[in-house]
Amino acid sequence: MKKVWIALLMVMCFVGLAAAQDYLYYGTLMPIDGGESPAGVALKSDGDLYYVTFNAASSDLVYVQDAVGCCQGDPCTSSVVSTETLPTGRGLNDVDLDSAGNIYINGTGSSGADTVLKKFSAAPAHTEVWSATDERINGIELMNDDILAVSVAWNKIKFKSTSDGVTSSTSSEVSGGSNYQRSIALNPGNNDLYVGKNGANSLAALKVFSGGSVDNASGYSLALDNQLATLGVNSLYGVATQPVYFDGNNGQLIAVDKRDELNDAYQGVRIYNVSGTGGSSVFTEAQYIDGSTAPGRTSQYYSVGGVAYAEIGGLDFIAIAATYGPDYVIDIFRRPPTSVDDWHLY
């Protein structure tokens, strides 16, 4: 009988592992760059991490080596790749990585003249490759290693060459829908572009551009506006960031729920299963993460400035750059392994 119960318990454990789809708290990076709130964040498949800081005249691009390995209590080794000077109250707000590990950043100025758009070579050199500033940019997304999509004030997307940061010949721009769009996320399964937005006196936080592709950027047009109706900020100008990220492995959109003082007090990250394409896109919430599950915490994040996903060692990880009380944190969440053999991975 004892052997029967042990076998039954093992079966139940495997069932529980297979059914576990939610992300669980994994660790927090300590320390992170002090004095400035974190904004955009990017994870590499080897566990390294980059993030940028916002809301300071001098904002940093920071590299954290083996962030996923050190986030469970060991001091992390970090270094500032670049410090950018932007108008007070603004700063760097997005970062992305290509397949070779090159880094792309942008920072919002008050005009094109003081906006930042730069490319750096991969670690460990981190050499500045180019700087291309000609218009106010609020977010970036790599379409592939050759084309960079940029969110331009206030409802435009332009496509630039990653070789020099100059507008790509495939298309000058597409536009449409509400103003004050921020970050961009590409769905590689159907080529849709999801654009985070807030402001324009609306709580909505997402637009969808569809019909185009990397090879046909001019084919994009607005398919949906004012989606995810409770995640944005209901004021005229909104706030500087509205991060979105698309996890192509699992077909999920990761979107930040911004605190809106006029309507709600939520501040966290919502994960949506995405079905359909273009105007028929459907976003079904799968999980909400507010940061309160981290040890020693009793409430949700105060603000969230960036989110990112990566498959590392065969497992799903997300990074959340946030403010919790007086502290700046980058939390790592992981989907638990689905088999006993996977538990040794990170």
CATH number at residue 315: 2.120.10.30
Judge whether residue 112 has pLDDT over 80. Answer: no
* pLDDT band at residue 307 under the 50/70/90 scheme: very high
Instruction: Indicate the average pLDDT of the chain.
Output: 89
The residues facing 55 across adjacent strands are none
Distance of CA 173 to the CA centre of its chain: 23
Three-state DSSP class for 174?
Answer: strand
**Residues 29/327, Cβ–Cβ less than 8 Å:** no
339 SS3 class: coil
**How many domains would you assign to the chain?**
1
Q: Judge whether 97 lies within some domain.
A: yes
Question: Residues near 46 by Cβ (< 8 Å), separated by ≥ 6?
Answer: 66, 312
Per-residue pLDDT of 256-299, as tens digits, reads: 999 887 778 889 999 999 999 999 999 999 999 999 999 999 99
Return the number of other C-beta atoms located less than 10 Å from residue 112's C-beta.
Answer: 14
13, part of any domain:
no
**Which structural domain range is residue 64 located in?**
24-344
H runs (alpha helix) in the chain:
2-19, 67-70
- The answer to whether residue 303 sits within a structural domain is yes
The 10 Å Cβ neighbour count of residue 228 is 24
Which tokens hold the place of 318? 């997300």
- pLDDT value, residue 57: 72
Distance CA 285, CA 307 (A): 16
Give the pLDDT of residue 300. 94
Reported as type and span, the H/E element at residue 61 is: strand 58-65
Candidates 257, 240, 304; CA nearest to 106 is: 240
- Reported as a single tens digit per residue, the pLDDT across 181-234 is 999 999 999 999 999 999 999 999 999 999 999 999 989 999 999 999 999 999
Q: How many residues does the structure list for the chain? A: 346
The answer to whether residue 339 sits within a structural domain is: yes
Question: What percent of the chain has a predicted confidence (pLDDT) above 90?
Answer: 71
Residue 344 backbone phi and psi in degrees, to 5: -75, -15
Report how far residue 180's alpha carbon sits from residue 191's, in angstroms, rounded to the nearest whole number. Answer: 22
The answer, as to whether pTM is greater than 0.85, is yes
Q: Is residue 42 part of a domain?
A: yes
Quick check: is 113 in a domain? yes
Q: Does 9 map to a domain?
A: no
d(CA 77, CA 64): 6
Within 52-109, residue ranges assigned H as helices are 67-70
Q: Is residue 134 part of a domain?
A: yes
- DSSP-assigned beta bridge partners for residue 209: 193, 222
